Amino acid sequence: MGYLGGFLVSLRQIGRKQRVTTQYPKEKAPKPARVHGRHVLNRYEDGMEKCIGCELCAGVCPAKCIYVRGADNEPDAPVSPGERYGYIYEINYLRCIHCDLCVEACPTEAITESKMFEFSFTNRADAIYTKAELVVDDEGLPQKLPWEDWRPGEDTQTSAWMRATSPSGAANFEGIVGWSGELGYGIRAPEAAQDVKDAITAKHDDHGHDDHGHDDHGHDDDSHDGGH
C-alpha cells in the first residue's frame, strides 16, 4: 500500500462517527445474559449444600477438568439433604472451556456459572479451585478470591436460570420457574421471553393471563386444554 496509502486510510476516518473504547479494566462492557464465567457451588435457602457428590458433572465434562468424590452424610450433622454430599470438589481452570455441560448434568442444581471470567493467576495452583473456594459463603455469595475481578451484578444472574446448551434458549422454559431456591437469592426469576415484544404480549394478552400462566380466576393454562 505504501506510506501515502496508509495515510489515506487514516484521513478517510476523519469526520466519521467513531466507536468509543471502553476503558478496561476500570470499566467493563455489559455482558450478555448467557455468558459463562467462574463456577459456584450453591446452597439451599436453609444453608444445606446442593451437591450430593454424584460425579455426573465430572463424567459429562469434555475437558476432564472436574474432580469429585462423594461421601456419606453424618446422620447427626448432614451437609446436604440427601444420603451423600460432595466431599471433594475441584475444577481445573487451566482446562475448563466453560461449556456449561456440568450445569446441564447436575440433578440438584448445585453447580452454576457466574458472569465473572477475569482471572489473573500468579501460579498454577491458584487455577485449581477447591470446594472451599467454590461453595458460596453463609450469605449465599460467591467466594471472591484475590486474583478475581468481580463487579456488581456478576453473581446475580447465573446460568442456573436457563438451559445452557440451547443456542437461543428453549421456549418451553420461558416464564417458568424451574430451579429451587438458593441461599441469599431465594427463587430466581424465570427465563424471560426471547423477544421483548413477546414479553409485552404475555403481560397484556386478550385472555387475562398473568406472567405465571394463570388466568384471572387463578386457573392454570393447562386447565383449558386438558393439560396439553
Q: Is the pLDDT of residue 214 over 90?
A: no
Beta carbons within 10 angstroms of residue 159's beta carbon: 24
| Burial class (CB within 10 angstroms; exposed 0-12, middle 13-18, buried 19+) of 181 | middle
What local confidence, expressed as pLDDT, does residue 157 receive?
63
For residue 185, CA distances in Å to 104, 115, 148, 188, 209 come to 20, 16, 22, 7, 27
Specify the CATH number for 35-167+181-188; select among 3.30.70.3270, 3.30.1280.10, 3.40.50.620, 1.10.730.10: 3.30.70.3270
pLDDT band for position 169 (cuts 50, 70, 90)? low
Domain ranges (residues) in the chain: 35-167+181-188
The separation between CA 199 and the C-alpha centre of its own chain, rounded to angstroms, equals: 22
DSSP symbol at 20: P
What is the overall mean pLDDT for the chain? 78
What local confidence, expressed as pLDDT, does residue 69 receive?
95
- Higher-pLDDT residue of 83 and 11 is 83
Q: Nearest-CA neighbor of 158 among 191, 200, 205, 204? A: 191
b/e 36-50 (16+ beta carbons within 10 angstroms → b): bbbbbbbbbeeeebb
Alpha helices in the chain (DSSP H): 2-12, 56-60, 101-105, 131-134, 196-203
Q: Nearest-CA neighbor of 166 among 188, 142, 194? A: 194
pLDDT in tens, 3-53: 777 778 778 877 777 677 788 888 888 887 778 889 999 999 899 999 999
When mean pLDDT is compared over 22-31, 37-46, 179-188, 196-205, the highest value belongs to: 37-46
pLDDT in tens, 121-145: 888 999 999 999 999 999 888 999 9
Non-local CB neighbours of 204 within 8 Å, separated by 6+ positions: none
Residue for grid cell 473456594: 133
Q: Which amino acid is at 60?
A: V
What local confidence, expressed as pLDDT, does residue 61 receive?
96
Q: Is the peptide bond before 25 cis (omega within 30 degrees of 0)?
A: yes
